[in-house]
Amino acid sequence: MSWTTILLVAAGAYGFKALGLLGLGDRKLPAAAERVLALVPAALLAALVAVDTFSAGRSLVLDARAAGVAAGGTAALLRAPFPVVVAVAALVAAGIRQLVG
């Protein structure tokens, strides 16, 4: 990642925070706008999970990652703490690669 990208993200992120705190002040957005903004993490995180699990470059693939993410996701559904979720996913994916590869 280039420094330019990092600095542009930093400037934009601070810009939103400052615009709210210093610029717009205490007012309400239209309710529909608040509902749409509240859904951004759901839509983008789901897209990130899907792309990071099932794609390699421009191809859709089904490999050890899918099993790892399924195992980690199950741990998360069972309310396992974050480090456990991540470790379960890594172990399952690495284990399958050991067995198959």
Partner 1 sequence: MLGAAVGVFGVAFGVLATTSGLSVAQACAMSVLVFTGASQFLAVRVVADGGVPAAAIAGALLLAARNGVYGMAMSRVVRGSHGRRMIAAQLVIDESTAMAAAQDDPAARERAFWATGLAVFVFWNAGTIAGAVLGRGIGDPAALGLDAAFPAGFVALLLPHLRTRPGRVAAGIGGTAALALVPFVPAGVPILVASLATLVGLRRPT
Write out the binding residues for partner 1, residues 30-69 only, by CB under 8 A: 32, 34-55, 57-60, 64-65, 67-69
**Tokens of residue 37, six digits:** 């903004």
Size of the site for partner 1 (CB under 8 A): 78
- Rounded Cα distance, 65 and 53, in Å: 6
Minimum CB separation from partner 1 for residue 27, in Å?
6
Main-chain dihedrals φ then ψ at residue 56, nearest 5 degrees:
-135, 110
Minimum CB separation from partner 1 for residue 20, in Å?
2
Is residue 100 close enough to count as binding partner 1 by CB under 8 A?
no
**Tokens of residue 90, six digits:** 């890594």
